[in-house]
Amino acid sequence: MTPLRRYLLPGRRRSRLGEWSLPPRSADGTDWGEVARLGGFARYNALRKALVSNSIGPAAGTVLQAAVPGRDLQGLVEALDGPQRSAAVLELYAELMRAPADPDVLRGYLGRRIHEALRNAAPGNLAARLAWPVSTCCYAAVVAFEATGQRRFLKLVAETFASVLPHRDVEAGLVDECRGRVGKGWGGSQFARRRYTTNVTTAGRIVYPVALFCAVVFGDRALRRHFGAQAEAFLPVLEEVLTDLDDIFVSTGDAGYYRRPCSKRPEPVNHMAWAGCAFLVLHDLTGAARYLERAKRLARYLKAAIYDDGAGHPVWDYDPTPESYRGSAPERLWKAQVTTQFMICAAGRGVVFDDDDLRSVCGTLMANVFLPRRCINTRIDRVAEPYESYAGLSHGGMGALAALIELEDHCPGLRDRMLQVVESRPGAGGWFAAAPGAIGYARRLRVPRNH
């Protein structure tokens, strides 16, 4: 039997991710028999909502036990009708968040989120939807395949990319208003004062997960039989989409950056990160030296922007310039989870970054991101601006923290620290509060290297 633990509840809820308290108990109107039949993400989501709304009752016991295998929840379920109900609800929420990652839960979420993102998408916002929720979900699917070997995750990536290929600007004849020509990728009107344009952010984020899909398929004879034709068709498109942006790449010494399409200002480092990863994978696939050179220049630009936070921890600004390699402010957490992925990709290939760099960055996260009372900082430097006090948070959510689990091979204790935060913050939405959380959940399907 799992004992009840003492929970320190923050105050009243103040924002989407802010301080939260358990609401008054409400009636449990859920058909738990139907939930049990559905299983997967539907089961996870029904349990999470019932726990957060404080409507769950003992009738959910069988479903709870199925969602948290290997744990005896009988005592907690019985306590739902007793004086310790509040503590039992919070303990059950923690058990649900800490339960082993389930491929069925992840696959259900990914399919649902991709469908939601693409539903009713129009030319003006298609690029944004592809570059953030859809590409994030596709990346999580590749991570999940690598952890489980389940081909349904690769099938999801292939079907998703195939469905959006006909909507490239070159197919629709849409003119890039900043560059004065039709682009080869997916443009949007959300990035440059409502002018329709393409940029490296969307291109890199769309290309990288699909390039990983191609690398996985080409590396396995059996997978090549199943997905080879699709990978062969995808690869030239991926190369074309990134090469089409050569005219907005700027070299500076042995480094380089992409400028914004409608100005000479450099893109923020997180905007270029997945393009850097994509170039590294394209070099793996094709051996073309130009891809490796482009990745090296982007990596050097990022590394030159790293400085000491005054306590021996490396940090970097959101938008460094080539003149000073400093910018307006240190990067926010949900942007850093993208930037660090480029560091991981580069270090894994011995390109500019190495394992010592990753361990140093992990030291930054452990020292600056995790705050007292299981709060998390929105900044990567020592200035504490927790989620509860940062009014400008618009996206990322708890997913920003969960996605940083990618660094866990270089950061002992990182997974457990994240679990502690996720399990004790019901108001933050759990693993799937935002699409990046799916990356963290997918990583939990595998045993970390330092385990």
The H helix count followed by the E strand count for the chain is: 19, 10
Same domain, 203 and 152: yes
Q: How long, in residues, is the chain?
A: 451
The answer to whether residues 136 and 438 touch, using CB atoms and an 8 Å cutoff, is: yes
From the list 389, 416, 310, 295, the residue with the least C-alpha distance to 347 is: 295
Mean pLDDT, the chain cut into blocks of 10 residues (451 residues total): 40 40 92 95 97 97 97 97 96 97 98 92 82 95 98 98 94 93 91 86 96 98 98 98 98 97 94 98 98 98 97 96 96 93 98 98 94 85 79 56 90 92 88 92 86 54
Residue 90 sits in the same domain as residue 239:
no
Domain final residue, candidates 52, 82, 98? 98
Of 93, 113, 111, 2, the residue nearest 44 (C-alpha): 93
Give the model's pLDDT for residue 2: 46
* Boundary-marking domain end, from 68, 98, 128: 98
The CB-based long-range contact list for 163-170 (8 Å cut-off, 24+ gap) reads: 163/118, 164/118, 164/126, 164/130, 164/134, 165/237, 167/123, 167/126, 168/237, 168/241, 169/198
Secondary structure class of 330 (helix, strand, coil) = strand
**Does residue 370 sit within a domain?**
no
Query: How far is the C-alpha of 41 from the C-alpha of 265, rounded, in Å?
Result: 42
pLDDT given for residue 108 in this prediction: 98
CA distance 250 to 266: 9
CA dist 175 and 162 (Å) reads 22
Is 444 in a helix, a strand, or coil? coil
Q: Which domain-ending residue is among 316, 344, 372? A: 344
Distance CA(301)–CA(330), nearest Å, equals 16
Q: What is the DSSP letter of 97?
A: H
pLDDT at 124: 73
Same domain, 83 and 114: no
Q: Specify whether 227 is located in the same domain as 267.
A: yes
Question: pTM, whole model, 2 decimals?
Answer: 0.94
Q: Is 61 domain-assigned?
A: yes
In the chain, the number of structural domains is 2
Q: How far apart are alpha carbons 65 and 79 in whole angstroms?
A: 15
Burial 89-103 (b: 16+ CB within 10 A, else e): bbbbbbbbbebebbb
Distances from the Cα of 395 to the Cα of 5, 343, 348, angstroms: 32, 22, 29
Residue 17 within any structural domain of the chain: no
Q: What is the phi/psi pair of residue 449, to 5°?
A: -60, -35
Q: For residue 140, which amino acid is it?
A: A
The CA distances from residue 8 to 22, 86, 388, in Å, are: 11, 11, 16
Are 121 and 254 in a shared domain?
Answer: yes
Q: What is the pLDDT of residue 388?
A: 67
What's residue 409's pLDDT?
A: 93
* Same-domain pairing of 94 and 154: no
Same-domain pairing of 67 and 171: no
Report whether 448 contacts 415 (CB < 8 A).
yes
- Cα separations (Å) of 158 from 151, 211, 357, 371? 11, 11, 34, 40
Whether 139 and 56 map to the same domain: the answer is no
| Pair (92, 108) in one structural domain | no
What is the spatial distance between Cα 412 and Cα 353, in angstroms, rounded to a whole number? 19
Whether 177 is covered by a domain: the verdict is: yes
Tokens of 201: 């952010």
- 75, 147: one domain: no
Q: Which residues, in sequence order, are bridge partners of residue 250?
A: 257
- Torsion angle (degrees, nearest 10) of CA 261, 378, 279, 212: -120
Return the pLDDT at 389: 63
Domain assignment of residue 168, given as a range? 103-344
Query: Collapsing DSSP states into helix, strand and coil, what is residue 2?
Result: coil
Distance CA 103, CA 183 (A): 37
Looking at residue 18, what is its pLDDT? 43
Question: Quick one: pLDDT at residue 380?
Answer: 94
Q: Do residues 62 and 143 both lie within one domain?
A: no
